[in-house]
Amino acid sequence: MEAVRIRRELLEYLLELARDFYPNEFAGFLRERDGVFEEVLIAPNPHFGSSSAFFDTWMLPYDESIKGTVHSHPGPSPWPSQADLNFFSKFGGVHMIIAYPFTEDSVRAYRSDGSRLGIEVVE
């Protein structure tokens, strides 16, 4: 299975964000450098609710290093919802979902079409 690469420090930070926002979702954009996700960007004026996260992509700066998205699910399902799949198809790239209880085992990555990718954590 093809895998996305993410820095351990970023993954740990994303897990902490998911815990901090619980019981609401959080969402952000992933910046990639040299094939590895290294930073998260939270869009201006987001709405993080218990069943959805919303942000205006028009508010993002032009940034070619943004190659993916990440959001949390306050429930235990790491699978993308229909709304997630609709968003994936519009944004492109890689999409990570962090499900409750927000551990490394509850993180999944998907392509824009919803097919699953592996995750490789790098130091």
Over the stretch 72-116, which tens digit does the pLDDT of each residue have?
999 999 999 998 898 887 776 899 999 999 999 999 999 999 999
CATH assignment of 3-115, among 3.30.2290.10, 3.40.190.10, 3.40.50.620, 3.40.140.10: 3.40.140.10
From 14, 3, 17, select the one nearest 38 (Cα to Cα): 14
Over the stretch 3-49, which tens digit does the pLDDT of each residue have?
999 999 999 999 999 999 899 888 888 999 999 999 998 765 555 54
Q: Is 58 exposed, middle or buried (0-12, 13-18, 19+ CB in 10 A)?
A: exposed
For residues 19 and 102, the answer to whether their CB atoms sit within 8 Å is yes
pLDDT reported for residue 83 = 87
Beta-carbon-side half-sphere exposure of residue 14 (alpha carbons within 13 Å): 33
Over the stretch 46-72, which tens digit does the pLDDT of each residue have?
555 445 555 566 556 677 888 999 999
